[in-house]
Amino acid sequence: MFFRGATLALFLCAFGTDQGLGQGLSHRGYLETAVTAYPQAAPGDSGRWIGQSLLRYEPSYKLTPGFRVQASFDARTDTHRQAQRNWDLSFWDRTTQWPAFAVRQLSASYSRGPLSLELGKQFVRWGKTDILNPTDRFAPRDYLVVVDNEFLGVTAARLTLASQSDSLDLVFTPRLTPSRIPLLSQRWVVIPPAARGLTLNDAGARYPGGPQYGARWNHQGRAFESSLSFFQGFNHLPLLDTKLMANPLRIDVTRNYAKIRMWGADVAAPLPWFTLKAETAWFQSDTQQAGEYVLYVVQLERQHGEWLFIGGYAGEQVTRRSSVLSFSPDRGLARSLVGRASYTIDTNRSVTFEGVARQNGEGFYLKFEYSHAFGQHWRLTGQAVLLRGSESDFIGQYHRNSFGAIKLRYSF
């Protein structure tokens, strides 16, 4: 309740009705309606047609050249009970469903010379690669639809000191913002064959207390750009405690968040024929059930005429195995070859092809997208996603979830 009040107060202060503020005020946003069709039903989820609408409004106000308040608000509904049906306004993003109304971002930033400070709910993105970002630790995601996810903001204080060639980023968050994982009753949670017939029950989450913090130093050299990063906090992706319960017979699933420490590095080097980007992170944990591992990505990128090609490999080296189930799309996408090609047809039209193939051959994902803008405001996007593989593989387990989608967006 306090945060709802604080949110409203900050919003009113920032974007108040004083008409004199109009000059520094700008806004953008969109209304998007999407229809998704799944050709196959999934165990426990017979829904094959899903409609959803999202209204996103993003005002920002520049009080002085160095001081700015920015916000982003979402209102959402759908036909598949993925979105809540109440009037609550979510700030902390700890609901299992999409909140009907959410504060996606609400922060104030001040910059002067080499120093900039941002306070409030914001997006903190680290890393240089595109296909997977192991060092991107302040970037939880909404995985309700695993292969069509987006980032969640974190409530944080971020101080950046920058010179022309170097920058130091210091981030502090008072509490964890977890990634939103698929709903247990829906198709993006695949029940193992041995447990089929049992109901999965969401027994809630045990959120850890305490802050998280991290630092990243970035250097822009003549031949390459590189970073070193450190993070101390919690994994925003959960470990899953499962318990078989009677009356009624069910499996209770509880989400836990392991304490982690990350040491990371990334580099981008423009070379004559392509740009090399690489990123790696070593994860240690004091939580006994959690695994310890190294994730790394090497990708090559080349622009050729109107084509952009990105291809690479995401790898993993496990140093300690996890003793419990977890939901880990980042590790699930590791040990994979990843490629993406996009072509700009003209100023209004583009096509994108994307593919992921696990190196063991047990799962692959292909995506095709065509996007067409009409006039100044409208964009129509068609998507087709093919998922195949075996049930033991992170990607392969979703082999009944291939889908096609059409999205119509009105931007303002």
Partner 1 sequence: MNSLKLCLWLAVTSSTLFGQSARDIVAEVQKRSQADSQRYEGLLQVIDSRGKTSEKQWIYERLGSHGKSKATIRFVAPAEVKGVALLVVSYPDRASDQWMWTPAINRERRIAMQDRRTRFFGTDFSFEDLEERDIDHHEYSMKGEEAIEGEPCWRIEARPRPGKKSQYTRSVIWIRKTNYTYAQMENYSEDKLIRRLKYRRMENVQGIWTARTLEMEDMTRSSRTILKLESLKYNLLLTDDQFSVQALRQG
Instruction: Report residue 19: phi and psi, to 5°.
Output: -70, -20
Q: Are 101 and 85 in contact (CB under 8 A)?
A: no
From 3-11, 280-288, 371-379, 393-401, span contacting partner 1 (CB under 8 A): 371-379
306 makes contact with partner 1 (CB under 8 A): yes
359 makes contact with partner 1 (CB under 8 A): no
Closest CA to 159 of 210, 215, 121, 85: 215
Q: How far is the CB of 304 from partner 1 (least distance, A)?
A: 5
Q: How far is the CB of 11 from partner 1 (least distance, A)?
A: 18
Q: Which residue has the tokens 């690489």?
A: 278
Q: Are 181 and 98 in contact (CB under 8 A)?
A: no
Dihedral sign for Cα atoms in the order 195, 196, 199, 202: positive
Q: How far is the CB of 357 from partner 1 (least distance, A)?
A: 23
Which of 274, 282, 353, 370 binds partner 1 (CB under 8 A)? It is 274
Q: Are 30 and 62 in contact (CB under 8 A)?
A: no
From 9-17, 159-167, 178-186, 361-369, span contacting partner 1 (CB under 8 A): 159-167
Which of 123, 207, 217, 282 binds partner 1 (CB under 8 A)? It is 123
304 makes contact with partner 1 (CB under 8 A): yes
From 87-95, 263-271, 285-293, 389-397, span contacting partner 1 (CB under 8 A): 263-271
From 35-43, 184-192, 233-241, 300-308, span contacting partner 1 (CB under 8 A): 300-308
113 makes contact with partner 1 (CB under 8 A): yes
Q: Are 278 and 266 in contact (CB under 8 A)?
A: yes
Q: How far is the CB of 96 from partner 1 (least distance, A)?
A: 24
Question: What part of residues 15-74 is at the interface with partner 1 (CB under 8 A)?
Answer: 28, 30, 58, 60, 68, 70
Instruction: Report residue 316: phi and psi, to 5°.
Output: -145, 140
Number of Cβ within 10 Å of residue 343's Cβ equals 15
From 7-15, 177-185, 200-208, 342-350, span contacting partner 1 (CB under 8 A): 342-350
Residue 46 to residue 349: CA distance in whole angstroms: 35
3-class secondary structure, 396: helix
**Applying CB under 8 A, what is the total number of residues that bind partner 1?**
49
Q: Which residue has the tokens 């699930």?
A: 332
411 makes contact with partner 1 (CB under 8 A): yes
Cis peptide before 59 (omega within 30 of 0): no
3-class secondary structure, 184: coil
Question: What part of residues 163-202 is at the interface with partner 1 (CB under 8 A)?
Answer: 164, 167
Instruction: Report residue 330: phi and psi, to 5°.
Output: -65, -45
Closest CA to 281 of 312, 315, 257, 310: 315
Q: Are 143 and 96 in contact (CB under 8 A)?
A: no
From 110-118, 204-212, 251-259, 287-295, span contacting partner 1 (CB under 8 A): 110-118
Which residues of the chain form contacts with partner 1 (CB under 8 A)? 28, 30, 58, 60, 68, 70, 109, 111, 113-114, 116, 123, 125, 128, 130, 151, 160, 162, 164, 167, 220, 225, 268, 270-275, 277, 301-306, 308, 344, 346-348, 373, 375-377, 379, 409, 411-412
